[in-house]
Every structure is written in C-alpha cells, then in structure tokens.
Chain A
Amino acid sequence: MFKLFASSNIFFWIEKLISFINSIFFVLLLVALSFALIFSPPDYLQGDSVRIMYVHVPSAWIGLASFTSIALLSIANFIFKIKNIKLVTKSIAPIGLMFTCLAIVTGSLWGQPTWGTWWAWDARITSMLILSLFYIAFIAAHKFINEEDKANKVSSIIAIIGLINVPIIKYSVDWWNTLHQPASIKIIGSSSIHSSMLMPLFLMFFVLILYCALIFLMKYKTEIIRIKKKNLKRL
C-alpha cells in the first residue's frame, strides 16, 4: 500500500493536478469574489464590515487544519516511518503559516471597526498567535538543523506539542470570556448564520483550499526534485 506513496508515482499526477487546478481556479475565484463583495447581504449589526469574514474565517480554518494535519502526519511518521510524510509536512507548513498570519491580520482589520481596537490579548487571538509561533518553530527546525533526521525529529515533536493548542483555539471562545464572538458555524448542530452568507463563505473556502492544493503540489514537487538532485550520482 505504501508503494502508492512512492514519489515517482505521485510525481506523474502532480503535473496533471496543477494544470487542472490552474484551469478552473480563476473562474471560481471571480465567482467567489462577486458573491463575497457584491451579492452577499450586509450584516444587520456589523454592516458591510462582515465581508471581511469571507477571507478571515477560511484563512483561520486553513491555518488550523494545516497544523492539525502536520501534527497527525508527524505522529504517523513516528509510527510507520514513511519517507514521504516529512516532504508532505514540510510542504504544508509554509502554507499554514501564511494563512494563520492572514487570519490574524484580517482579524485585526475586522476588530478595529467592530471592537474599536486593532489588537487585544484575547484568548482566541493570543492562541492563534501561539499557533503561528509553532509554525515558525517547525519551519525553523527544518531550516537551521543541518542533520535531516534530527530536523525531522525536532519538527515532529514541535508539531505534536503544538497540537495541544488546536482545541484551545477552537474552544477558547467557550472556555473564557472573550471579545471574539463564539462559533457561528457548527459541525454538529445548526449554524446561526444565514445561507445567503454561508454559501459565499464556503465558496471562498473552496477557492482558498484549491489555492493551497496548488501551492502544496508545487512545493512538494520542488522537494522531490531537490532530493533527486542531491542523490543524482546514486541514480
């Protein structure tokens, strides 16, 4: 089964997937932006500032999901020792960091008109900041530790420790009294957000997921080439 994950098998499909995503991406982006900026209604309380949600919420979801997958894959790497897992986690990390930072910045831009402040040491915001620090530590481990095995071990440990922060982020709005509003979209139970806003939100999320897939595939391909280039003489 692990042969499926062999880099030579994966490499062939990466090129095809990149071209497919490139062909549909801009059309979907245009549709998503039209809904987010024009067709979706303003909020009865927050007015048009609610439109920031269409970039802020998907960015935060991607930041959280990326770190969770990095941590789970690191655990899998400790158990199964699959070589490609480290390439996957190394490729996901910069994307996750980028979206976590975007969630913080767009959150700050949303905070100013709604809360009257750019920043607050609020449980949700602070835990998101801690998440970005875990991402930085993960990337730094790969960058500054020369011995590859040691770098993988250290980065995996960072990711596994950082996993503790994920439920803290998720439930911070329930556990503490925060400025940040509680979750409007629930996995279990009904969401307190109208479909006219939910649809553009999921559309924008889908577009950003496609973007992540595109960047991930390109980074993963770069990593495979880098390794092959290093081992060229052995071929």
Chain B
Amino acid sequence: MIQNLISMNGYGLFVWASFSITFLVCALVYLRTYKTLKKYEREFAKEINQLSFEQKKTVVENSKIASQVLSSYSKTI
C-alpha cells in the first residue's frame, strides 16, 4: 500500500512534487511573515520603551495598538 502511495501508478514524481512545492512555499512564506511581524513588534516595543516615562504614558493612553503591542511584547520576554 505504501509502495502504491509513493509511486501513484507512475505519477508519483509529479503528484508529490506538486504537493511538496505547494506546502514548502506555504511554510517558507509563513515563517517569513511571522518573523517580519515579530521583528516589527520588537522594534516598536523597544522604541516605546526608550521614551521618557511621561511620553510612554501618553503613547499608551492615546494608542490602543501601542499598549497591546507593549503588553504582548512584555509577555514574550
């Protein structure tokens, strides 16, 4: 049965290549997107942390996004 699954009656190379390429590309794009997102989150949180206490307070109060990124970043470290 496994032999049949691999060979696919002679079409194995084409079928497995199609599925492999599709899911490999999907995995690479996922990893790249995830890394970029984390990089931006990290940089944004770092920039907020570098602000003075007053500035940081204002940013967190004025921007929901900044406060969410900051809290999720502090959870990860």
Residues of A within 8 A of B (CB): 7-8, 11-12, 15, 33, 36-38, 42, 47-49, 51-52, 55-56, 59, 94-95, 98, 102, 105-106, 109-110, 112-113, 211, 214-215, 218-219, 221-222, 224-226, 228-229, 232, 235
Contact call B18/A235, Cβ cutoff below 8 A:
no
Contact call B18/A106, Cβ cutoff below 8 A:
yes
List 26 A-B pairs, Cβ < 8 Å. A12-B64, A12-B68, A15-B72, A37-B19, A42-B9, A47-B8, A48-B8, A49-B8, A55-B18, A56-B18, A105-B18, A105-B21, A106-B18, A109-B14, A110-B18, A211-B30, A218-B33, A222-B37, A225-B40, A225-B41, A228-B69, A229-B43, A229-B44, A229-B47, A232-B44, A232-B48
Contact call A113/B19, Cβ cutoff below 8 A:
no
Contact call B68/A98, Cβ cutoff below 8 A:
no
Q: A219-B33, A222-B40 are in contact. Are A228 and B66 (CB under 8 A)?
A: yes
Contact call A48/B11, Cβ cutoff below 8 A:
yes
Residues of A within 8 A of B15 (CB): 37, 48-49, 51-52
Partner of B22, one of A59, A110, A218, A224: A59
Residues of A within 8 A of B59 (CB): 232, 235
Q: Which residue of B lies closest to A42 (CB)?
A: B9
Partner of A215, one of B8, B21, B33: B33
Contact call A106/B21, Cβ cutoff below 8 A:
yes
Residues of B within 8 A of A232 (CB): 44, 47-48, 59, 66
Residues of A within 8 A of B43 (CB): 229
Contact call B44/A228, Cβ cutoff below 8 A:
yes
Contact call B48/A47, Cβ cutoff below 8 A:
no
Q: Which residue of B lies closest to A14 (CB)?
A: B68
B58 beta carbon closer than 8 Å to chain A: yes
B63 beta carbon closer than 8 Å to chain A: yes
Contact call A102/B14, Cβ cutoff below 8 A:
no
Residues of A within 8 A of B68 (CB): 11-12, 15
Contact call B9/A47, Cβ cutoff below 8 A:
yes
Contact with A along B1-38 (1 / 0, CB 8 A): 00001001111101101110110011001100110110
B77 beta carbon closer than 8 Å to chain A: no
Q: Which residue of A lies closest to B21 (CB)?
A: A105
Q: How far is the CA of A219 from the CA of B32 in the complex (A)?
A: 10
Of B5, B12, B33, chain A has the most CB atoms within 10 Å of the CB of: B33
4 closest A-B pairs by beta carbon, nearest first, are A48-B8, A49-B11, A8-B64, A106-B18
Of A51, A105, A106, A225, chain B has the most CB atoms within 10 Å of the CB of: A225
